Amino acid sequence: MLPSIRRLHEIGYRLFATAGTSDFIQEHGIPCQYLETLNESGAKEQKSEYSLTQHLANNTIDLYINLPSNNRFRRPASYMSTGYQTRRLAVDYSIPLVTNVKCAKLLIEAMSKKINLEVSDVDFQSSHRTVVLPGLVNIASFVPGITKAKSSDFEEVTRASLASGFTMIRVLPVGLDESLTDARTITAAHISMKNKSHLDFNISVAATSDNAQQLGQVVSEVGSLFIPFNHLSGNINKVAAVASHFNIWPPVKPIVTDAKTTDLASILLLASLHSRPVHIHNVIHRHDIALIALSKEKGLQVTCDVSVYALFLSRADYPDDSHLPTLKDQKALWEHIDIIDCFSIGSLPYYVAHSAKQNPSPIVGIADTLPLLLTAVADGRLTLDDIIQRLHDNPIRIFDLHEQQESSLEVEVDRRFRVPSGPVWSAFAGKTLSGVVRRVMFNGQTVYLDGVITSQRGQGKDMSGMGPIPRPSTRDSASSASIVGPRRRMTVEHQLQSPFLRSADPVNSTYATASTMQHSGALMSIPPLIPGPSLAEMISHTPFYRKHIISVKQFDRNDLHLLFSIAQEMRIGVKRQGVLNLLQGRLICTMFFEPSTRTSSSFEAAMQRLGGKVVSVTASASSVTKGESLGDTIRTLACYSDAIVMRHPSADSAMIAASVSPVPIINGGNGSIEHPTQAFLDLFTIREELGTVNGLTITFVGDLKYGRTVHSLIRLMLHYHVNINLVSPSQLALPDEVKADLRGRIEFQEYSELSNEIVARTDVLYCTRVQQERFESNEEYERVKSCFVIDNRVLRVAKKSMIVMHPLPRNQEVSDEVDFDQVY
């Protein structure tokens, strides 16, 4: 303590100390006044100048440092030391007291540096109950200036939401002056939101009476379709207009509406006719909640949310505000709390502020939300579980949102506080509520702690284009696929000539990318025998339609989502019907110049399941053995087919084939370069098995040099936030050109051993066969052929949820016993 005591003297403090301490300090040349400690009885009159008691009582001491002695034999119940009595006095007279030597030193250091020592109202050692909740989701976040590039509304909303415990929001597509209804407004919103968000978010598109036909352009950029009945001037009030939206919108993305009364009844009927789920936002009327309850009872796939303000404010508080429920309505909402799936914030607080003649801020109501609900918990009207379900579990499930990694909040649930009358208006200012958010974690980082936001703008991800995560049993959209809706009108050209018989564009030959989407859109039509409008619509929007599929590099994130949505739909359809008639009358040729079981049979099965036919040519029995060139072979096959699937040992085979083929070439593997369709299947499998790709640790093991499926899959990983481990002997390391594609874009580490530590943090263990046929010499192959063997011993340390994947064929790299170790 001596240096700290010297420091106190140097910065101008007058020091006092009791007997021994005072002598010690003075012996070291620091002036210090002796004070007498309390005597045993405390009765003896002390001369005030030398009395510690008097100094404390007269408040002439600014800081009292007293370190309790560590006498473990003392029985506190029967003995009260003088030290204790003086500390007690300091507390009674409100004199700052320090009882810990480290704290004393730090405090003196801080005082000497003139650090702001204002005492905050945070009780750092409180007895309040702290609970950890998962990061909350606001499914309806109102951003007034959503399309305005210069508006700070979005950043403010995301910042305030984060500080109030939300780590994900779904932005309402309805702004104050403008809504997101088409590609222009959605682009404007993207610009205004770019790099500004403090949390993950997604946007939706709003339906108008006449935008159904344009929605296809934006479907991959939004999370859902919102059908507003009460906002837009071009109000969507005709059932026919709403019906066309139901026809057009893909079943894998949710439909949300704020329909009320008779509009609500129409929407529920339409949803029922289309056998698709619908979510009702901002229910306020008692008849509406009763209708939703009844619909649920009858098995309709309907879910709903209620704005938290509507649960705690009514027209009894603001008689002129028609956005609020009446007291009777509010009572009904509480009575039906079990059928309310989500709580939301929505635009209600903003409009209430308006009715209260206050200047509405975009963030009004956000900070009130959780405390209002926790007050209801304290009052016994809700449980904590009710809140978690409605602000986390159900939103994630209903809107197919991604589960956020390491995002949570610590809340002192029973701590009461008075809502301040700050610059942001609150309908509850001056009222006492329960529940204080102390800490918010976002992606493993503390972004809010005791009133201080440390998050960076731009750290939140735009999840709009993520699309839903397919979950096999939650939605059965096959029935919607069988509804016959209005077909898109075909051009004469398309009626005369099937798109499948048109040649692939020979000039731009080959790659379909998102940038060619608009161009190819002009050539698209719905093939005649597609079973229903939803799948047809999805297919009609694929940029890879009628294009050669050579490399995964042709695909961006949106393409993948579209591909998976289509695959999901087809799978459900095939499961129900066995064969779909999507490709009736079409024929593909398959030609495998290398052996194959899984890939070749999957193409044949897919073609037949979609109603088409296959001619498979056996390379060893073909004219290739007579010296026919690859170009000639391809041109010959193209005469008889609508597309060609080819596997070939040479790296440039796929490109050569594409350059001469008038019909699309699908690459089933070109040398050790790529195997795009296997990689799509692998990615689809990961999503199916683990729910999401983001946040996973994926470990590739084995022959990473020649394993083409690895090269393709790893490149697809660039579209996700993943951590990659590459485990191989150095001779079989991932080729430099693939690594070059990864560098700076994705985290990856290389290892030559598969350690327990790697297995333990892995979510997907992707194993490959050592590709004997591609080695220069057999000795070389023999040296590495059994480099890694995955058996139950290796998997002992693995997470329960870890999956082992293998593109097949398997040799000894994955033991058979692994097939049977599943935890059911």
User: Which is closer to ligand NCD, CB of 447 or CB of 549?
Assistant: 549
Task: Please report whether residue 675 would count as binding ligand NCD according to CB under 6 A.
Answer: yes
Question: Who's near 257: CB < 8 A, 6+ residues apart?
Answer: 226, 227, 228, 229, 263, 264, 267, 278, 279, 280, 281
Binding mask 759-778 for ligand NCD (x = CB under 6 A): ----------x-x-------
- The stretch among 244-252, 440-448, 608-616, 807-815 that binds ligand NCD (CB under 6 A) is 807-815
Question: In terms of Cα–Cα distance, which of 716, 770, 754, 758 is closest to 738?
Answer: 716
Question: In terms of Cα–Cα distance, which of 546, 648, 635, 539 is closest to 592?
Answer: 648
Closest distance of CB 809 from ligand NCD, Å: 6
Task: Please report whether residue 669 would count as binding ligand NCD according to CB under 6 A.
Answer: yes
Q: CA-CA distance, 747 to 694, in Å (whole number)?
A: 13
Closest distance of CB 700 from ligand NCD, Å: 13
Question: Who's near 176: CB < 8 A, 6+ residues apart?
Answer: 144, 145
Cross-strand partners of 445 = 442
Question: Who's near 462: CB < 8 A, 6+ residues apart?
Answer: 190, 193, 197, 200, 201, 202, 203
Asked if 465 contacts 221 with a C-beta cutoff of 8 angstroms, the reply is yes
Q: Is 626 a catalytic residue?
A: yes
- The stretch among 441-449, 544-552, 595-603, 737-745 that binds ligand NCD (CB under 6 A) is 595-603
- The stretch among 304-312, 386-394, 443-451, 593-601 that binds ligand NCD (CB under 6 A) is 593-601
User: Which is closer to ligand NCD, CB of 692 or CB of 771?
Assistant: 771
Closest distance of CB 670 from ligand NCD, Å: 10
Task: Please report whether residue 328 would count as binding ligand NCD according to CB under 6 A.
Answer: no
**203 φ, ψ to 5°?**
-120, 170
User: Which is closer to ligand NCD, CB of 450 or CB of 780?
Assistant: 780
User: How much helix, strand and coil, in percent to the nearest 5, is found in the chain?
Assistant: 40, 15, 45
Question: In terms of Cα–Cα distance, which of 258, 253, 171 is closest to 219?
Answer: 253
Q: Could you give the dihedral angle defined by the CA atoms of residues 434, 438, 442 and 443, in that order, rounded to the nearest 10 degrees?
A: -120
Binding mask 170-209 for ligand NCD (x = CB under 6 A): ----------------------------------------
Q: Is 575 a catalytic residue?
A: no
Task: Please report whether residue 598 would count as binding ligand NCD according to CB under 6 A.
Answer: yes
Answer for which of 295, 369, 709, 762 binds ligand NCD (CB under 6 A) is: 709
Answer for which of 763, 807, 813, 818 binds ligand NCD (CB under 6 A) is: 807
- The stretch among 412-420, 536-544, 635-643, 805-813 that binds ligand NCD (CB under 6 A) is 805-813
What's at 218, amino acid-wise? V
- The stretch among 39-47, 169-177, 784-792, 803-811 that binds ligand NCD (CB under 6 A) is 803-811
User: Which is closer to ligand NCD, CB of 68 or CB of 809?
Assistant: 809
Question: Who's near 399: CB < 8 A, 6+ residues apart?
Answer: 139, 170, 223, 224, 254, 279, 468
Q: Is 599 a catalytic residue?
A: yes
Q: Which of 675, 705, 719, 806 is catalytic?
A: 675
Q: Which of 647, 711, 769, 806 is catalytic?
A: 647
Asked if 717 contacts 744 with a C-beta cutoff of 8 angstroms, the reply is no
User: Which is closer to ligand NCD, CB of 243 or CB of 665?
Assistant: 665
- The stretch among 187-195, 322-330, 360-368, 804-812 that binds ligand NCD (CB under 6 A) is 804-812
Q: CA-CA distance, 604 to 613, in Å (whole number)?
A: 8
- The stretch among 235-243, 262-270, 451-459, 806-814 that binds ligand NCD (CB under 6 A) is 806-814
Answer for which of 337, 490, 746, 808 binds ligand NCD (CB under 6 A) is: 808
> Where are the alpha helices (H) located in 169-285, listed in sequence order?
183-193, 239-248, 261-273
Answer for which of 599, 633, 667, 697 binds ligand NCD (CB under 6 A) is: 599
Q: Which of 150, 626, 743, 800 is catalytic?
A: 626
User: Which is closer to ligand NCD, CB of 105 or CB of 810?
Assistant: 810
Distances 174 to 203, 452, 699 between C-alpha atoms, Å: 10, 31, 43
Closest distance of CB 552 from ligand NCD, Å: 13
Helix 653-660 and helix 630-640, axial crossing angle in degrees, nearest 10: 50
Asked if 599 contacts 590 with a C-beta cutoff of 8 angstroms, the reply is no
Task: Please report whether residue 648 would count as binding ligand NCD according to CB under 6 A.
Answer: no
Site for ligand NCD, residues 123 to 152, rule: CB under 6 A: none
Question: What is the full DSSP assignment across 103-114?
Answer: HHHHHHHHHHTT
Task: Please report whether residue 676 would count as binding ligand NCD according to CB under 6 A.
Answer: no
Task: Please report whether residue 111 would count as binding ligand NCD according to CB under 6 A.
Answer: no
What's at 649, amino acid-wise? P
Q: Is 170 a catalytic residue?
A: no
Question: What is the full DSSP assignment across 597-633?
Answer: SHHHHHHHHHHHHTT-EEEEEEGGGSGGGGT--HHHH
Residue nearest to ligand NCD (CB): 769
Asked if 181 contacts 208 with a C-beta cutoff of 8 angstroms, the reply is yes
Closest distance of CB 598 from ligand NCD, Å: 4
Q: Is 647 a catalytic residue?
A: yes
- Residue 48 DSSP symbol: G
Closest distance of CB 572 from ligand NCD, Å: 24
Burial class of residue 788 in the structure, from the number of CB atoms within 10 Å of its CB (0-12 exposed, 13-18 middle, 19+ buried): buried
Chain residues in the site for ligand NCD (CB under 6 A):
596, 598-599, 669, 675, 678, 708-709, 769, 771, 807-809
Active site residues: 598-599, 626, 647, 675
